[in-house]
Chain A
Amino acid sequence: NAGVMQNPRHLVRRRGQEARLRCSPMKGHSHVYWYRQLPEEGLKFMVYLQKENIIDESGMPKERFSAEFPKEGPSILRIQQVVRGDSAAYFCASSPLNTGTGVGTEAFFGQGTRLTVV
């Protein structure tokens, strides 16, 4: 099991461009979480998805940000018209079940995508 794979590891975009971050969950995992982390800070929840469904997007900015987790393929976090304030590390995590339901439902994290907007 290759673990949670995120790509690219590093992404540089100019202001106004689009950033597309990919996350392939662990095999058999149907729950995906996206988080944003600024240097020296904790992880801020963005969105929780199951296959083909957005379950909780309360942490997503209302504009420019969107996420999907299609039936086939990786989960995508898309940021349109990026601004310098979008520069951060974006982490994806997956779990086989809703991670609040008990033992064995911990979340497994990818190595993150570091987005730099210049």
Chain B
Amino acid sequence: SQQGEEDPQALSIQEGENATMNCSYKTSINNLQWYRQNSGRGLVHLILIRSNEREKHSGRLRVTLDTSKKSSSLLITASRAADTASYFCASIQGAQKLVFGQGTRLTINP
């Protein structure tokens, strides 16, 4: 089974609006990572948040982590058409393997 579960599965917003995606996980983690995938391409790492961190920023990205609820959120502010992609959270399951959720398909409408 996949470690992360993102919601919503699909999100469509207007350019300039903020987009929020959520991720829940099942087991304890050392860190949680977010990745982006453009259609037909490989995944690109966006940001990593450690288990002892609550919030992290990178440009227009803001990630939060709530280990008590086993959940994380990714916020993209001032969205652009180029942000259209699928976004995945990922964490380590067991000792070794990086496991991904089903992803959120984000569409930014111009």
A43 to B45, CA, bound (A): 14
Known: A107-B45, A108-B45, A109-B42. A42 touches B97 (CB 8 A): no
Cβ of A111 within 8 Å of any chain B Cβ, yes or no, is yes
Total interface residues on A, using CB and 8 Å? 30
Q: Mark B28-67, 1 if CB is under 8 A from A, else 0.
A: 0111010100000111110010100000000000000000
Size of interface on B: residues with Cβ below 8 Å to A: 29
Contact with A along B85-106 (1 / 0, CB 8 A): 0001011111111111111010
Contact for A45 among B45, B48, B97, CB less than 8 A: B97
Whether A106 touches B45, Cβ cut-off 8 Å, given contacts A42-B102, A99-B92, is yes
Residues of A61-109 whose CB lies within 8 A of B:
91, 93, 98-103, 105-109
Q: How far is the CA of A11 from the CA of B90 in the complex (A)?
A: 28
* 29 cross-chain CB contacts under 8 A: A41-B102, A42-B2, A42-B100, A42-B103, A43-B43, A44-B100, A45-B93, A45-B97, A45-B98, A48-B96, A48-B98, A55-B96, A56-B94, A56-B96, A59-B97, A91-B43, A93-B98, A98-B96, A99-B33, A99-B98, A100-B95, A100-B96, A102-B30, A102-B48, A102-B50, A103-B50, A106-B45, A109-B44, A111-B42
Known contacts A99-B33, A107-B43, A110-B42, then 5 further A-B pairs from the complex at CB < 8 Å, ordered by chain A residue: A4-B42, A33-B97, A42-B101, A42-B103, A91-B43
What residues of chain B have their CB less than 8 Å away from a CB belonging to chain A? 2, 29-31, 33, 35, 41-45, 48, 50, 88, 90-103, 105
